[in-house]
């Protein structure tokens, strides 16, 4: 694996590779603290492209809480070992100065309509502005054919899909949303899981159990009843629930009740102590 810290060096390298023949580039953007979910994305990229590129960059502009940014786990040496073992070809490991040479305030920002104001957008004001800035920048740097992201960040997946449209790159870049990789108890793999204490980790799988309950009860129950059951259960077990919601899986428009004429997605967010966890499940 070749590691680049300078964006210009990476671009020169990829340009030379592509100049020899028509090589397809797959890209996995990450913020590091890698786990099996990230590695599954590398595997898919590796299987379907000639060059598998990953990036590790903890983007400060998508953290509305500075303390959350400061606490974000870092394990670069371990990450590099995992990427090498997964067969990743290229890693971009840039500094903030490299990504935002003139500062992030001068970067173009993108609006995502109602997505900026619901669910993650409501809980983390400005988050998707930061996501849009960094993803647009990374896509411009790497110029990939395919981008691989995990379904765990469902709303972010839709934001990135919309961003590709805003950049008018729908015919150049294909977004591949890949299944969430889970622990044995159903907990979605996440870099933030490392911050859970042992007692917190023991109950964290309850988030997934709530999603499974929403799926199972769609036949003979009201979503509002199941929603209240989940919120009450999470609070009882020591979580601070933020939302338990149901939405159209296509555009994430929120639903008050089950609508079997639509493909739906259930979404949940809650805190355990100061660790914020999110998950989702497509339910039909």
pLDDT at 106: 76
Q: What CATH number has the domain spanning 2-178?
A: 3.40.50.620
Q: Please report the pLDDT score of residue 64 as a whole number.
A: 81
Residues labelled as active-site residues: 38
Distance CA 228, CA 241 (A): 11
118 contact partners, CB below 8 Å, separation of at least 6: 252, 254
Q: What is the pLDDT of residue 71?
A: 82
Amino acid 268: pLDDT: 98
Divide the 284 residues of the chain into consecutive groups of 10 and give the mean pLDDT of each group: 98 90 92 96 97 96 84 92 98 96 84 96 95 97 97 98 97 98 97 96 98 96 97 98 98 96 97 96 92
**Structural domain boundaries of the chain?**
2-178, 191-282
Q: Which tokens hold the place of 94?
A: 């840039």
**CATH code reported for the domain at 191-282:** 3.30.1300.10
The tokens 């974000």 sit on which residue? 72
Nearby residues of 56 by Cβ (< 8 Å), 6 or more positions away = 30, 31, 32, 76, 79, 91, 92, 93
């Amino acid at each position: 694996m070749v590691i680049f810290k300078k964006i210009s060096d990476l671009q020169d390298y990829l340009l030379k590779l592509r100049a020899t023949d028509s090589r397809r580039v797959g890209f996995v953007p990450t913020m590091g603290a890698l786990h099996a979910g990230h590695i599954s994305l590398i595997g898919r990229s590796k299987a379907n492209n000639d060059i598998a590129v990953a990036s590790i960059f903890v983007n400060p502009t998508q953290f509305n809480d500075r303390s959350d940014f400061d606490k974000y786990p870092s394990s670069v040496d371990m990450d590099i070992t995992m990427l090498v073992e997964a067969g990743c070809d290229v890693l971009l490991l840039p500094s903030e100065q490299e990504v935002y040479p003139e500062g992030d305030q001068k970067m173009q920002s993108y609006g995502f309509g109602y997505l900026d104001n619901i669910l993650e957008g409501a809980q983390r004001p400005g988050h998707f502005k930061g996501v849009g800035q960094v993803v647009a920048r990374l896509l411009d740097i790497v110029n990939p054919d395919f981008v691989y992201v995990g379904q765990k960040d469902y709303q972010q997946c839709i934001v990135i899909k919309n961003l590709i449209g805003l950049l008018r790159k729908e015919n150049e870049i294909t977004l591949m949303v890949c299944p969430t990789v889970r622990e044995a108890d159903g907990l979605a793999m996440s870099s933030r899981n490392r911050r859970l204490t042992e007692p917190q980790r023991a109950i964290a799988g309850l988030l997934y159990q709530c999603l499974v309950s929403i799926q199972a009860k769609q036949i003979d129950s009201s979503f509002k009843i199941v929603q209240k059951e989940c919120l009450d259960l999470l609070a009882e077990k020591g979580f601070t629930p933020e939302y338990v919601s149901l939405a159209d899986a296509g555009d994430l428009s929120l639903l008050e009740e089950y609508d079997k004429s639509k493909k739906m997605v259930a979404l949940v967010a809650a805190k355990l102590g100061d660790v914020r966890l999110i998950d989702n499940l497509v339910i039909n």
